[in-house]
């Protein structure tokens, strides 16, 4: 599993500090992140593939610094956003899944064959030429996932991927995530998705306030919310 | 988000099989030649020729009409303007040429995968490298443009629904401001997603 390290990480948007002095080392396969809205958990997730660079401190993935080696980091770290509509960049399903492969210079024919296999694996077989925006919410999130996973990242960071989904689709995403061989860092408000996770981080007002097993972390998070 | 304007429809017609570069070049050539159309019969012939392409591509006529629906207001305004300023004949020519060009461009995108279009544009733009223009960027720009048509149409639908739900009626400002704000937010999120998916690498 990749080793994620944040050392003395703080982040500010203008005058507002959203993350303060976070130091953590993560090497487990399943890591959960919970916290209230505005607690800094999404910023923390974005730090892990260099989408956000820390105002202070250092973030590394497998020893690669997100500041100076962003390209190498992003090849190892896939990112799945809350809203799949904002993540789907090509008009049709197969084209969107192929996007990341083509950006990495894969030949068209190789990309096509890998895309076909990926679409079947994520329940989108037969949707190759389907307009992406006409998929259902659950299908869009599966497409977003497929588009990230087709590039075979070692770590998948997911920022509230089930927030916009109904229960059935949220469970579908949870099942897919549970079966992934990759290391997964999941930011979520759906606490039941954290069952079976190795470790859960609790953020509050920009600080990492607890780092524990899921049951203890969820208990603490519930206390914070009352 | 239900708009399907101009999006690829799979098929195996002769138009589907034509290389994307050939279709693009033909479209540009017709666009240039259209400035010489100044008789109603010429425009009618051009419109008929373009419309004939739809059944050839296995697309029903309603698909062709669907491509013009978003332009009804623009075509209507243009027609009224030219009727007042230049008379009926000129109005017919201008509106007819506009409609024919939109129908032709739609026919190209309806019968060509976006990736094929992008590849053709990238190939065509390679000589621009000497001017330090990145052909891949131009191709991506086109793909994103096509992708964003249904997204913005969907946002407009949502804003209109919100307007109606709040009883705001047909207020242009109440429609335009949230649509622009939401489109910019979407652009921000799209930029972040492109970075996450390796665009800047």
String of DSSP letters for chain B: ----TT------SHHHHS-HHHHHHHHHHHHHHGGG--SHHHHHHHHHHHHHHHHHTT--HHHHHHHHGGGHHHHHHHHHHHHHHT-HHHHHHHHHHHHHHHHHHHHHHHTS-HHHHHHHHHHHHGGGGGGT--HHHHHHHHHHHHHHHHHHHHHHHHHHHHHHHTT--S-HHHHHHHHHHHHHHHHHHHHHHHHHTTTT-
In a domain, B57, yes or no: yes
Which range marks the domain in which residue B1 is found? 1-112
Per DSSP, what are the bridge partners of residue A26? A4
Q: Are residues B107 and B141 in the same domain?
A: no
Among the partner residues A51, A85, A92, nearest to B195 by beta-carbon distance: A51
CB contact under 8 A, A92 and B198: no
Q: What is the mean pLDDT of chain A?
A: 91
Q: Are residues B75 and B18 in the same domain?
A: yes
Q: Are residues B23 and B94 in the same domain?
A: yes
* CB neighbourhood size of A223 (10 A): 10
Distance CA B41, CA B142 (A): 34
Q: Are residues B13 and B71 in the same domain?
A: yes
pLDDT at residue A10 above 70?
yes
Distance CA A13, CA A22 (A): 16
Q: Are residues B100 and B177 in the same domain?
A: no
Nearest to A203 by CA among A12, A67, A45, A60: A45
**Per-residue pLDDT tens for B71-114?**
888 999 999 999 999 899 999 999 999 999 999 999 998 999 88
In a domain, B119, yes or no: no
B141 touches chain A (CB under 8 A): no
Last residue of a domain, one of B112, B147, B178: B112
One of 3.30.70.270, 3.40.50.300, 3.40.50.720, 3.40.1390.10 is the CATH number of A4-225, namely 3.40.50.300
Per DSSP, what are the bridge partners of residue A61? A4, A64
Among the partner residues B3, B114, B196, nearest to A90 by beta-carbon distance: B114
Contacts with A87 from chain B: Cβ below 8 Å: 189, 193, 196-197
Rounded to two decimals, the ipTM of the complex is: 0.83
Contacts with B154 from chain A: Cβ below 8 Å: 133
Distance CA A67, CA A188 (A): 26
C-alpha distance from B116 to closest chain A C-alpha (Å): 10
pLDDT at residue B3 above 80?
no
B147 touches chain A (CB under 8 A): yes
Mean pLDDT computed over A204-211: 93
CA torsion through residues A107, A108, A109, A113, sign: positive
Which residue of chain A is at minimal alpha-carbon distance from B114?
A91
Q: Are residues B40 and B89 in the same domain?
A: yes
Contacts with B187 from chain A: Cβ below 8 Å: none
Contacts with A79 from chain B: Cβ below 8 Å: 196
Q: Are residues B15 and B84 in the same domain?
A: yes
Contacts with A134 from chain B: Cβ below 8 Å: 1-2, 4
In a domain, B118, yes or no: no
pTM score above 0.90: no
Max Cα–Cα distance, chain A, nearest Å? 55
| Cα angle A65, A24, A77; round to 5 | 45
Q: Are residues B79 and B144 in the same domain?
A: no
Q: Are residues B97 and B144 in the same domain?
A: no
B186 touches chain A (CB under 8 A): yes
CB contact under 8 A, B151 and A85: yes
Confidence of residue B5 (pLDDT cuts 50, 70, 90): low
CB contact under 8 A, A91 and B4: no
What is the pLDDT at residue A57? Answer: 95
3-state SS, residue A157: strand
**Per-residue pLDDT tens for A147-172?**
999 999 999 999 999 888 888 888 88
Q: Are residues B73 and B8 in the same domain?
A: yes
What is the number of structural domains in chain B? 2
Confidence of residue A91 (pLDDT cuts 50, 70, 90): confident
Looking up tokens 């290389």, which residue turns up? B19
B154 touches chain A (CB under 8 A): yes
Q: Are residues B148 and B196 in the same domain?
A: yes
What is the pLDDT at residue B1? Answer: 44
pLDDT at residue B2 above 60?
no
In a domain, B149, yes or no: yes
3-state SS, residue A132: helix
C-alpha distance from A176 to closest chain B C-alpha (Å): 20
How is chain A split into domains, by residue range?
Answer: 4-225
**Quick one: what percent of chain A has pLDDT higher than 90?**
63
Confidence of residue B6 (pLDDT cuts 50, 70, 90): low
What is the pLDDT at residue B4? Answer: 56
Which residue of chain B is at minimal alpha-carbon distance from A145?
B197
pLDDT at residue B28 above 90?
yes
């Amino acid at each position: 599993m990749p080793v994620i390290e944040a050392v003395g990480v703080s982040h500010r948007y203008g005058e507002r500090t959203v993350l303060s002095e976070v130091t953590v080392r993560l090497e487990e396969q399943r890591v959960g992140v919970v916290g209230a809205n505005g607690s800094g958990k999404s910023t923390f997730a974005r730090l892990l593939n260099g989408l956000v660079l820390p105002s202070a401190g250092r973030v590394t993935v497998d020893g690669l610094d997100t500041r100076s080696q962003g390209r190498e980091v992003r090849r190892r770290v896939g990112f799945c956003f809350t809203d799949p509509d904002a993540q789907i960049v090509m008009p049709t399903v197969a084209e969107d899944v192929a996007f990341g492969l083509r950006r990495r210079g894969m030949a068209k024919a190789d990309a096509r064959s890998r895309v076909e296999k990926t679409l079947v694996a994520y329940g989108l077989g037969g949707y190759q030429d389907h307009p992406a925006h006409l998929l259902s919410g659950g299908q869009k999130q599966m497409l977003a996932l497929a588009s990230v996973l087709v590039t075979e990242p070692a770590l998948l960071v997911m920022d509230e991927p089930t927030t916009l989904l109904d229960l059935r689709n949220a469970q579908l995403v949870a099942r897919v995530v549970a079966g992934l061989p990759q290391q997964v860092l999941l930011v979520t408000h759906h606490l039941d998705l954290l069952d079976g996770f190795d470790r859960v981080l609790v953020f509050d007002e920009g600080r990492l306030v607890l780092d524990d097993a899921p049951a203890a972390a969820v208990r603490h998070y519930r206390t914070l919310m009352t | 988000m239900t708009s399907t304007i101009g999006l690829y429809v799979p098929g195996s017609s002769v138009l589907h099989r034509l290389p994307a570069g050939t279709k693009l070049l033909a479209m540009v050539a017709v666009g240039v030649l259209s400035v010489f159309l100044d008789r109603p019969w010429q425009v009618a012939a051009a419109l008929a020729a373009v419309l004939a392409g739809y059944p050839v591509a296995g697309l029903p006529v309603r698909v062709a009409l669907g491509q013009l629906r978003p332009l009804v207001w623009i075509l209507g305004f243009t027609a009224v303007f030219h009727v007042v300023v230049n008379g009926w004949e000129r109005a017919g020519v201008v509106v007819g040429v506009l409609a024919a060009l939109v129908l032709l461009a739609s026919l190209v995108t309806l019968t060509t995968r976006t990736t094929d279009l992008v590849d053709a544009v990238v190939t065509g733009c390679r000589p621009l490298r000497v001017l330090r223009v990145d052909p891949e960027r131009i191709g991506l720009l086109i793909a994103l443009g096509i992708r964003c048509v249904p997204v913005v149409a969907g946002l407009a639908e949502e804003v209109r629904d919100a307007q109606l739900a709040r009883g705001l009626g047909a207020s242009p400002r109440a429609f335009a401001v949230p649509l622009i704000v939401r489109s910019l937010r979407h652009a921000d999120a799209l930029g972040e997603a492109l970075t996450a998916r390796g665009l800047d690498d």
